[in-house]
Amino acid sequence: MVDYKKDASELLTLIGGRENISSVTHCATRMRFVLQNPDNADIEAIEDLPAVKGTFTQAGQFQVIIGNDVAIFYNEFSKISGIEGVNKEDAKVDAKKNMSILQRMLAGLAEIFTPLIPAIVVGGLILGFRNVIGDIKFLEDGTKTIVDVYPFWAGVYSFLWLIGEAVFHFLPVGITWSIAKKMGTTQILGIVLGLTLVSPQLLNAYSVVETKAGDIPVWDFGFAQVQMIGYQAQVIPAIMAGFLLAYLEIWLRKFIPNAISMIFVPFFALVPTVLAAHVILGPIGWKIGDAISNVVYAGLTGGLSWLFAALFGFLYAPLVVTGLHHMTNAIDLQLMSQFGGTNLWPMIALSNIAQGSAVLAIIFLHRGNEKEEQVSIPATISCYLGVTEPAMFGINLKYLYPFVAAMIGSAIAAVVSVSSGVMANSIGVGGLPGILSINPKYYAIFAICMLITIVVPFILTVLFRKYNILNKVDTAPIRTFGKKEYRESAKTTN
């Protein structure tokens, strides 16, 4: 077992001492600090520690990459510093003091969708698999699908829709539950609220357009009628209703005595919220969602779609750095609900691949640097599977030029994707497996886009390094295929 006492002790000093640490916790690979004054941390010296594989700051937390031994390192650090760790939720709350109002709003949006990601990924993979067996006609001279020929796979195709429908059509249930969980209110009430938005008693949201106004069922209160319309797959109405329920419950608990709170708080929180959801919030949220999706769709299909695609492909990675990328989840889901698919998601999957390819080029340029490879190799794999943060914060942003090379490759691929009309049937896992979410008729062109995001960022990263373009920190010699030699990259040459 590696002894981390020396590194833990030095980290405590370099991070500004015990008095600079507001709270500390850890995740699977990283120490997460909330610092009183982040400027007091000597980042360059910290990254020189043998146990440290990189650092970055996100969501108000200074994160130190340790690797799989992070739990051992954390225990040593706690002994030396005398600081007891907190759980991750408390650390998030503490970190908000270092965040702007916009950052707090974006962090809140991220906290809503993060617990839903496993279900969305599974749903995307399932719908992608259904694409392959039910939509691609590659049997009997291209006239039939696997489902058409084999009864077993027809049964699988039908069965898997049970899960796909649960994930995407009943998504409002997950959203309202996640909001209740985030706000610390009664989670079952959040679930019930979500169910009232997608109940079978309501006219399915997908049937509203084709239903005559006079045929839409209503609740008749005598003096007023309320249309019984469902909000299947609708994101914004669910978010608005979820927050209303949470804030109403919090407000009621301030005035209703504990002795009777179990009876009256749920009743006076849930009933008005459900009514408001169907009378006010739902219709307003639907229009907002339609407006957003129409603007995005028009941008991606209009005369300047190539420009929109280039900008999105180029800027998506910086959006991930700021946390703004979480907004795309809501937009993608809204596009799927309104147009039956999304042309935004393919560009996100391509950006994931591009960042991974840039790191792959760094692995090639710096081969022999075993310490860096402990970060770069897993980060590349992670990118190709749709998770880019380890690559961006651990490698690409540190050197900058691979980050920009990836952005350029992503932009080129995005233009090709949008210009070719590539559409994803669903969102799910990104990176290379993202092709499973693509409508099968676009598989070939999307494969070409994937190839672009593999080749272009790799070549640009090598060229940028060779000619010192956008390079201020990487002074390691360019490796050849001959003798292996490596000297540690300087932290700065300014």
Q: Please identify which residue in the block is written with the tokens 């982040």.
A: 38
Distance (Å, whole) CA 204 – CA 224: 22
Answer whether residue 332 shows pLDDT above 70: yes
Question: What is the pLDDT confidence band of residue 481, given thresholds at 50, 70 and 90?
Answer: very low
Distance (Å, whole) CA 375 – CA 53: 6
Mean pLDDT in residue range 283-299: 87
Q: What is the pLDDT of residues 57-75, one digit of tens each?
A: 776 788 888 877 888 898 9
Answer whether residue 485 shows pLDDT above 80: no
Please tell me which residue, 187 or 476, carries the higher pLDDT value. Answer: 187
Mean pLDDT in residue range 218-222: 90
The domain at 4-99 falls in which architecture?
2-Layer Sandwich (3.30)
CA–centroid distance for 12 within its chain: 32
pLDDT, residue 59, reads: 66
27 noted as active-site residue? yes
Which pairing describes strands 225-227 and 218-220: parallel, antiparallel, or unpaired?
antiparallel
Answer whether residue 289 shows pLDDT above 90: no
Query: pLDDT averaged over the chain?
Result: 85
Distance (Å, whole) CA 66 – CA 69: 7
Q: Please identify which residue in the block is written with the tokens 């300014």.
A: 494
Question: What is the pLDDT confidence band of residue 86, given thresholds at 50, 70 and 90?
Answer: low
Which H or E element spans position 220?
strand 218-220
Least confidently predicted of 53-67, 188-202, 250-264: 53-67
Answer whether residue 254 shows pLDDT above 80: yes
pLDDT, residue 482, reads: 47
What is this structure's pTM? 0.72
Please tell me which residue, 483 or 186, carries the higher pLDDT value. Answer: 186
Q: Please identify which residue in the block is written with the tokens 């698919």.
A: 341
- Which of 44-48, 390-394, 451-455 is predicted most confidently? 451-455
CB 127 within 8 A of CB 134: no
Residue ranges per structural domain of the chain: 4-99, 110-290, 302-467
CA–centroid distance for 174 within its chain: 16
Distance (Å, whole) CA 214 – CA 227: 10
Percent of all residues in the chain with a pLDDT value above 70, rounded to a whole number: 89
pLDDT, residue 267, reads: 95
DSSP conformational letter for 394: I
pLDDT, residue 344, reads: 92
pLDDT, residue 490, reads: 38
pLDDT, residue 302, reads: 86
pLDDT, residue 107, reads: 66
Please tell me which residue, 268 or 22, carries the higher pLDDT value. Answer: 268
Percent of all residues in the chain with a pLDDT value above 90, rounded to a whole number: 39
Answer whether residue 193 shows pLDDT above 80: yes
Q: E strands within 273-378?
A: none
pLDDT, residue 483, reads: 45
Question: What is the pLDDT confidence band of residue 179, given thresholds at 50, 70 and 90?
Answer: very high
5, 6, 27, 291: which is the annotated catalytic residue?
A: 27
Question: What is the pLDDT confidence band of residue 492, given thresholds at 50, 70 and 90?
Answer: very low
Q: What is the pLDDT of residues 125-174, one digit of tens each?
A: 788 788 788 877 778 887 888 999 999 999 999 999 999 889 888 989 99
Answer whether residue 28 shows pLDDT above 80: no
